Amino acid sequence: MQINKKYLDLFFKISNFTLIILYLYPGSILGLILYGNLKLQPRLTEDFFSLSSNHFYTFLILSFIAILSYSNNLKKLDYIFLYLLLISIILELTHLVIPNRSFQYEDLIGNIAGVIISYILIKFYEFIRR
């Protein structure tokens, strides 16, 4: 079954918008929903290699959604990855000024690693396919 690219593109845009809201909200919306506490962050797994696993998984998944959405337009996909790399840095830097949020290098490294790993995987796949 083939999923329509328009729906994937819409899903990517909604996921991206949701991520931005979660990052810019002064506190943890997910912590509030799950634990009733804005200061608690849910943790999927333990952190590894001095990077935040939550942030790594988030940007890895968002990047793979972008790959699925724009796989037929590789030039545009390169720009999407550049956007994801920049937004991963900018969103973490906003935590320097947002109340109840804190900038952490582990989060920044996790954001960047999620984007870079997915970019390397898609470039490797393209190389193998040729």
For the chain, the structural domain boundaries read 5-39+46-129
- For the stretch 57-80, pLDDT in tens is 999 999 999 988 887 787 888 899
Q: Report the run of H or E that residue 129 belongs to, with start and end.
A: helix 105-129
Residue 79: CB atoms within 10 Å: 11
Beta bridge partners of 51: 48
CA distances from 55 to 2, 6, 26, 118 (A): 29, 27, 17, 14
Compute the average pLDDT of residues 79-91. Answer: 95
Summarised one tens digit per residue, pLDDT across range 4-52 is: 778 888 999 999 999 999 899 888 888 888 888 887 777 777 777 778 8
In which band, very low, low, confident or very high, does the pLDDT at 2 lie, cut at 50, 70 and 90? low
Give residue 26's pLDDT: 86
44/51 Cα distance (integer angstroms): 13
Report the pLDDT value the prediction gives residue 69, as an integer from 0 to 100: 86
User: Which of 86, 92, 90 has its CA nearest to residue 51?
Assistant: 92
Tokens encoding 60: 């890895």
Least Cα distance to 55 among 11, 95, 99, 13 occurs for 95
SS3 105: helix
